[in-house]
Amino acid sequence: GYGILEDGTITRPQQLNYDIYGNNLVYKVDSSDQVMKLLDNSFKGFLLKDEDGDLLFAKIDGNAFDKSKDHEKYYQIVNAPSRTVIVEYVKELKDPNSSGWTSSTNNTLSSEYVLNINYYVLNKSNKYEKVKLNNKGALKVFKDKKNKISSFMKSKNIKIETPMDLFQVSEYYHSL
């Protein structure tokens, strides 16, 4: 993958990885197995390549959300250059021993990371609003034009199951 700087230029391709838990971009040093955390804050985004294609991520400020977030973070852009639908990846450490009960110190369960995926669309206020990946969720977010959206989904036979399905509906909403 490669990084995208504030002025739109891109870095040279390298082995990049996105550390979801820490919201950091990490890279592998050329000839070694050493992994380094990228400390350059001038990146406005990055592109990762995998077997399914290219994944574009952009840094979005917490104030761009309907329910404001504490800090800016990288979000996947579903269909660039449009930013009407974005995806947030969140990794949480689930520790079965964190309850504080004395009996939990004697168990053999280990902690594990759990990946949660959240979807957001631009609402009528041009703020990102969290949405469930289904028809009902889209109609709830776009309730000001619910009848038109519902007719559109029926005429195009859209059943929202993927971010690209949600993208089609979101683009139609913003064209009205």
Which structure tokens are listed for 116? Answer: 């949660």
134-162, pLDDT tens digit by residue? 999 999 999 999 999 999 999 999 999 99
- % the chain with pLDDT above 90: 46
Cα-based angle 161, 93, 33 (whole degrees, multiple of 5) = 95
Q: What pLDDT was estimated at residue 88?
A: 95
Q: What pLDDT was estimated at residue 15?
A: 75
Q: What pLDDT was estimated at residue 82?
A: 92
Single-letter code of the amino acid located at 144: D
Pick out the chain residues at pLDDT < 70.
29-32, 34-42, 96-108
Residues 6+ apart with CB under 8 A from 167: 78, 79, 82, 84, 85
